[in-house]
Structure 1
Amino acid sequence: MHAANELKDQVNIQFIMQGSGPEKDKLMKLKEDFKLNNVHFLDPVSKLEMPEIVKAVDVALVPLKNLPLFQGAIPSKVFEALSMKKPLLLGVDGEARRHFIEKAEAGLFFEPENARELAKQAKILALDESKRRVMGDNARKYVELQFNRNKLAASFLEKLKEIQQP
């Protein structure tokens, strides 16, 4: 909400909050306190309905708390966004950053829980449609090459066979 507050005069930047996470009530109160018109809350939907919502946005925002626990985390919502050519605004350090920002060049990183940095990166993407398109294309290519379910399953099966052999 603090990043949205910094960007409230940027009419081309809107934040869509989807679902009913544990922080939703707190976030709704902050929206009201800051009198934000650039933040919109959507009710939870089924997993089958999510592609329509992802399709409607220009950028996928993926923020997590700044905890060591998340260093090895890759939030599952990332894959849906990447497969739909959506660049990321990624507030997740560690494994996710290495894959999707450094290797894939599929978005911009902001330090987790750093509202000012999130606002800065959001503005960069909002102002550069070409950058968003290139990052979206990179996203799709990377996820197809590195996270193809069939390839991952075959690799996993090979590892299991190796373990079985005496």
Structure 2
Amino acid sequence: MHILFLSDNFPPEVNAPASRTFEHCREWVKAGHRVTVITGVPNFPKGEVFGGYRNRLWQAEEMSGIRVIRVWTYITANEGFLKRILDYLSFMLSAFFAALFVRKVDIIIGTSPQFFTAVAAFMTSLLKRRPWIFELRDIWPESIRTVGAMRSSRALDLLEKLELFLYRRASAIVAVTHAFRDNLIARGIDGAKIHVVTNGVDTSRFAPREKDSGLAAELGLEGKFVAGYIGTHGMAHALETILDAAGKIRAEPDGDRFRFLFLGDGSSKAALVARAGKEGLDNVIFVDTVPKDEVVRYWSLLDASIIHLRRTPLFETVIPSKLFECMGMGIPVLHGVRGESAMIVTQEQVGLSFEPEDYDDLCRVLRTLVSEPETLQRLRGNGPAAAARYDRRVLAGRMLDILQDVATRRSAA
């Protein structure tokens, strides 16, 4: 089977869509299938083209047996709604035209979070007369409305009509959470064609390891209890809550034993850095995005990982992918997200939950880990066992079964 996958993020980018797409496609190639990925040049999240690449109309390479076609896009940083829409639209058009030159395709996948990629997949499926899969990683554009990134209600209403059209026309939908599936069914989408394949973790890369002593010394973290946030610094993440907690902890008698590490970039980072400097939060350390192979070194520094999203009903349907990486590394999670992901944290006993946007509650669970060493060790030990239930290889196999079923039914028809 020849699988054509459209995704505007792909390695060497290190965000969740890039990792999921690459790890699934890698496993499908190992299973004997041919996979072509159409993507842009790596530039996320700063909007700066990675070294060794140029923003050209067409360039091809091979990664782990995957044929990767990179197309021209309008490049901008992950900030500013209008510019990002131009980025999304340019990829939609470039990916569609590139897809026309990919021959003998059996099935097409378009992945969100932004659904203009799914539009390109839909248009490609019409011309090639092949089934297409909508991989649903975010309820978009509802998430835009939630974080207030766009004020025009009429424009959002039009986008939501397009969203529902795509759900209806997709041969199948693969959602990353059960809550997303429930959301679509409640909006009239046929539940029989909606499947759930959660995010997961590459357990061959994310496994328990000793702290990187050289990196700890370089960052001044030796002998400190390190709580860290690794990922996109965006509007949805409300990372001001972590700065509030850092300020409170710093003022306490033993506050110097704690450090807060931020790794990543995004639309809110500059404001976070400026605020930390203005308030003299010398217990907060910011590190820019690092290459994928380096990320685990920074994970190893953490005694606890903070996962946080705004307090809103929409985000109760989300399962942050970094949760599974924390499990794999055996890092206890301080989890500030309500809903389905909080249920996983509780059921798997891999962390402690706190109320989103409540820095006092974050300080409470942080203190619990420090004052109860047995709890800290128990949560650490539970992580790897839980991660095995979300192994990316197994999940890639589940999604492959869905693709094969759709392709077989189409051929029979």
> What is the TM-score when the length of structure 2 is the normalising length?
0.38
**CA apart distance, 1:16:** 0.2
Structure 2: which 5+ runs fail to align? 1-242
Specify the SS of the correspondent of 1:135: helix
Specify the SS of the correspondent of 2:369: helix
Looking at structure 1, the residues matched to 331 and 349 of structure 2 have their Cα atoms a distance apart, in angstroms, of 12
2:369 aligns with 125
1:38 aligns with 283
What do the CA deviations read for 1:55-110 (whole angstroms, capped 9, x no partner)?
1111111111112221121212222221010000111111110112x101111111
Q: Report the residue type matching 1:132 in the other structure.
A: L
Identical-pair percentage:
29
Q: 2:381 aligns with which of 137, 149, 154?
A: 137
Specify the SS of the correspondent of 2:387: helix
1:113 aligns with 357
2:399 aligns with 156
* Pairs within 5 Å for 1:43-82: 43-82=288-327
Specify the SS of the correspondent of 1:130: helix
Asked if the contact 1:7–1:119 (Cα under 8 Å) also holds between the matched residues in 2, the reply is yes
1:19 aligns with 264
What do the CA deviations read for 1:123-165 (whole angstroms, capped 9, x no partner)?
11123332122101112111212x1223223333444566656
Q: Report the residue type matching 2:338 in the other structure.
A: D
Looking at structure 2, the residues matched to 86 and 34 of structure 1 have their Cα atoms a distance apart, in angstroms, of 29
Looking at structure 2, the residues matched to 43 and 150 of structure 1 have their Cα atoms a distance apart, in angstroms, of 29
Structure 1: which 5+ runs fail to align? none
Specify the SS of the correspondent of 2:273: helix
2:340 aligns with 95
Mean alpha-carbon deviation: is it higher for 41-50 or for 30-39?
30-39
> What is the TM-score when the length of structure 1 is the normalising length?
0.88
Greater relative contact order, per chain length (Cα 8 Å cut-off, separation 6+)? 1
Larger relative strand fraction: 2
Looking at structure 1, the residues matched to 289 and 398 of structure 2 have their Cα atoms a distance apart, in angstroms, of 35
Q: Report the residue type matching 2:399 in the other structure.
A: F
1:6 aligns with 248
Give the paired residue count. 164
Specify the SS of the correspondent of 1:41: strand
Looking at structure 2, the residues matched to 65 and 129 of structure 1 have their Cα atoms a distance apart, in angstroms, of 29
What do the CA deviations read for 1:13-61 (whole angstroms, capped 9, x no partner)?
2100111122112212221232212111112111221100001111111
Asked if the contact 1:13–1:126 (Cα under 8 Å) also holds between the matched residues in 2, the reply is no
Q: Report the residue type matching 1:55 in the other structure.
A: S
Cα root mean square deviation, aligned: 1.8
Larger relative helix fraction: 1
Mean alpha-carbon deviation: is it higher for 112-121 or for 20-29?
20-29
